Amino acid sequence: MSIITLSNVQKSFGPNPVLKDVSFSVNQGQVIALIGASGSGKSTALRCIDRLETIDGGSIEVCGHKVEDPRLDLRKLRQDVGIVFQSYNLFPHLTIEQNITLGPVSVKKMPKAEARRLALSVLEQVGLADKAESYPEQLSGGQQQRAAIARSLAMKPKVMLFDEVTSALDPKLTGEVLRVIERLAGSGMTMIMVTHEMNFARRVADKVIFMHQGTVHESGTVAILKTPSTEALQEFVSNDL
């Protein structure tokens, strides 16, 4: 059953069309790798799913929420959808535990003691149980990114969106973060990852969506990375080798 559906989505920034009739769906528990060159519309599509950008045409449904509806309850949408960016967006003046408990306490009205237990549980999930009292600046980039993932998980989302989460990290730290995402994938979390990590996509994704010049140019299982049927994907994959 589809948990995310984009139908003929259009989005322009000024006179520049960024998404042109983009349609795809994601089933519950699926892991989608959204790939393509810079400027192909991948991150914009992701941001439209969480309504960080509003669309100009078409429709998006996520976990039963009609995202383009002006009456959409944004708070409810964002309880169902977690998003993790390239920049960690942690509050520097709060400890890692405080960063994580903020959402459950203020949005979900969770008692502080319960939120603290939840924070320790999600930190354990991402291998940071010993960093609850640390401040973001005391952590490496990979640890900060894992803390950002833990913060999203604490809201118990139905869907996780990852936007180039490893592009600012060196190879060792990238591996740390990807292992956490791989474990999440194994736990059945529905995920869309905008990624340049092709080997990771091959290993983890159920479906690959290749975006080119604002359109879904090709999509299918990871097999399309081995045998692309379009010249654009062939070129993209060969540049990665």
Question: Strand 81-84 relative to strand 159-163: parallel, antiparallel, unpaired?
Answer: parallel
Both tokens assigned to 55: 């669309």
Q: Give the CATH number for residue 82.
A: 3.40.50.300
- 143's CB contacts (< 8 A; 6+ apart) are 128, 131, 176
* Dmax (CA) of the chain: 56
Cβ atoms within 10 Å, residue 123: 23
DSSP string covering 149-177, please? Answer: HHHHHTT--SEEEEESTTTTS-HHHHHHH
Q: Count of CB atoms within 10 A of residue 113's CB?
A: 9
Domain limits for position 129? 2-240
pLDDT value of residue 241:
56
User: Sign (positive/negative) of CA torsion 200, 203, 209, 213?
Assistant: positive
CA 235 remoteness from chain centre: 25
Cα distances from 14 to residues 11, 17, 18, 94, 225, in angstroms, run 10, 8, 10, 38, 33
Q: What is the pLDDT at residue 165?
A: 87
The string of pLDDT tens digits covering residues 36-77 is 999 999 999 999 999 999 999 999 999 999 999 999 999 899
Structural domain tally of the chain? 1
| C-alpha atoms less than 13 angstroms from C-alpha of 127 in its C-beta half-sphere | 15
For the chain (length 241 residues), average pLDDT per consecutive 10? 94 95 95 94 95 96 95 91 88 96 90 94 92 95 92 93 87 86 90 91 93 96 93 89 56
| DSSP one-letter code for 137 | G
| Confidence (pTM) | 0.92
